[in-house]
Amino acid sequence: MLADWRAAPIGEPLRATLGLLEKLALRPAEVGPEDVAPLREAGLTDDAIAQAIHVSAAFHVITRLADAFGFEIPPPEHVALDAADLIKNGYDR
């Protein structure tokens, strides 16, 4: 799916959502109600569409902040240790 979501064996609701999210990312000024119609036709509710847009927007903000401040991605070993710590201790310390 990462190589080509258009040809990937995924359901039409997800494919339609990815199409909208791609357009929002690359050409946001061109997005209009006609871009939401295929998602509704694929069975998605307006709430589900809004949630997808919110998640995408949050990731775009995080990415731009990370780029602006030069955040570094930790190595996989570090991520695995953090994951194990979260599983053991949770977020509440």
| 34-89 residue pLDDT tens | 999 999 999 999 999 999 999 999 999 999 999 999 998 888 888 888 888 888 88
Query: Any idea which residue has 């064996």 for tokens?
Result: 9
Q: Is the pLDDT of residue 18 over 90?
A: yes
User: What is the per-residue pLDDT for 86?
Assistant: 84
pTM attached to this predicted model: 0.74
Separation CA 11–CA 38 (nearest Å): 13
Looking at residue 38, which CATH number applies to its domain?
Answer: 1.20.1290.10
Q: Which domain holds residue 21?
A: 12-89
Domain count, the chain: 1
> Is 40 a domain residue?
yes
Both tokens of 79, joined, read 């991520």
The three-class DSSP label of residue 68 is helix
> Is 4 a domain residue?
no
Task: Work out the pLDDT band at 93, boundaries 50, 70, 90.
Answer: low
